[in-house]
Amino acid sequence: MLRIGLTGGIGAGKSTIAEQFRERGIPVIDADEIAREIVEPGEPALESLVSEFGEQVLHPDGTLNRGGLAVVAFSDPQSTAKLNSIMHPAIAERTREHYERHADAPIVVHDVPLLVENSMTRLYHLAVLVETPADIRLKRLVDSRGMDPVDAQKRISAQASDAERLAACDVVIDNSGTPESAQAAFAKVFAKRIQPFADNLAAGRTAERSGVQLVPAGEQHVQTAQRLSSRISYALTEAGLSDAEVEHIGSTSVPGLLAKDIIDLQVLTTTEAEWDAAAEALTAAGYPQHYVDAFDDWDDAGHVAKRFHRNADPGQPVNVHVRTRGSLSARFAAHFAERLRTDAALRADYEGTKKRLAEQHIDDRSTSRYAEAKEPFFTPLRDEFRRSESS
C-alpha cells in the first residue's frame, strides 16, 4: 500500500484534490472527520472528556459542546495536555482502523490539515501539498466562506508557513488558479509519479533513472535528505532497529558541489545480522534492494560488504547504502564528504572528474557505468584514509 499524506493551508482548496483521488477509486481517510467521529455520543473519547472536564463540555442533547470544551481545555497547559492525552490516542486508533479497512487498496490517502505542524511527514511514502499563496487563501476565506479578514489572517498565521510546508512535502500541486488547472496538475502528477510509485512498491522494484545530469547541490537536497532520513529512521524503528542511524552522504551533502540529482543516504546498523530486517523495512518504506550482493572495493584490503537499496519513487532518485556502524567504508563515506567541504583542491579535482565522466557517459540512463568509471578516483583516497586510520 502506498500511503499518501495530503495537506495544505486553510483555504488552499485541499478538498479539490482529495476529490480527484476519490474519483479514481482511491480511499481518502479524512482526519477532520475522524476527529468528529470519536467525540460522538457513546464514543469512549467523549466519555473521557466528560470525566476529565465535567458536564459543561456537553450540550443538553448529549453532544459535545466544543465551545465549552475549549474554555476549560485551553485554560492552562496542564488542561491542554489532558485534552491531547485523550484525543490523540483515540484519533490514532480510529485512523488505524480506517487503514485496516482499506488494507487491500494499492493507494490510500490520509487527508491531514496539520500534517506539517504535527511533524507527520515520516508516516507516509509521499506527502502531497496543495499549494496556494497566503494572499489568495485569505481572499478565498473572506469571499467564499464569509470569514472576517482579521480572523482569517489569524488562522493562516497560526498554521505552518508556506516555506515550512514546501520543506516537509514531496509533491506540490498548484491550486492558485482555476479548479480545472489544479485538476490538470493533479492528473499529471498522478500519472507520472503516484501511480508508477504504487506499481513499483507493489512489485518490490526500483524506478528507472533518467541518466547522468549534474546540478549544483543546494538547500533543496538538504531538505529532501532530511525528509527521507526521517521516513527511513521511522521505518527502521518500527522494525525494531531503533539504534540504526541515517546519514546524508555523497555529493548532494556538499553545498554547491556539482552532483547527480540523487540523494545518497547511509544507514548504519550495529551488526550485519540486522541487514535482513533493515532490508524488509526499507523495501516497505519504498526502497527495494537493488543489488543482492553489494560491497565497497578496498583493493588489497578486500571487499567490505554492504547492502544497496534504491528508490521505488520515480520522482526522487535515492541511493541507500546499508553498512555497519564503525566499518571502514562507513567512516570513509562521512570523511570524504567532510573533505569535499573543506579541501578546495580536492573539490575542484573531483568536480573536473565528474564533468569529464558525465560527458563520456551521457547515454548511461542507469548511471551505473558512470559510477563505475569514478571508482579509480577513490582508490588513492581510500588508501590514504586507511593508512591514517591504522596509524
Annotated binding-site members:
11-16
3-state secondary structure of 320: strand
Helix axes 44-53, 66-73, angle to 10 degrees: 50
Helix (H, G, I), strand (E, B) or coil at 205: coil
Least Cα distance to 336 among 316, 358, 321 occurs for 321
324/225 Cα distance (integer angstroms): 20
How far is residue 152's CA from residue 158's CA, in Å, rounded to a whole number?
10
A 10 A CB-CB count for 375 gives: 10
Q: Is 198 exposed, middle or buried (0-12, 13-18, 19+ CB in 10 A)?
A: buried
Name the CA dihedral angle for 267, 273, 278, 280, rounded to a multiple of 10 degrees.
150
Q: Give the DSSP H or E segment for 280.
A: helix 275-284
Comparing C-alpha atoms, which of 239, 220, 249 is closest to residue 334?
A: 249
- The cell numbers describing 51, all together, are 470525566
User: Per the annotation, where are the binding residues for ATP?
Assistant: 11-16
Cβ neighbours, 10 Å, residue 15: 14
What CA–CA distance (Å, rounded) separates 382 from 248?
19
Cβ neighbours for 268, distance < 8 A, ≥ 6 positions apart: 244, 245, 246, 247, 323, 324, 325, 330
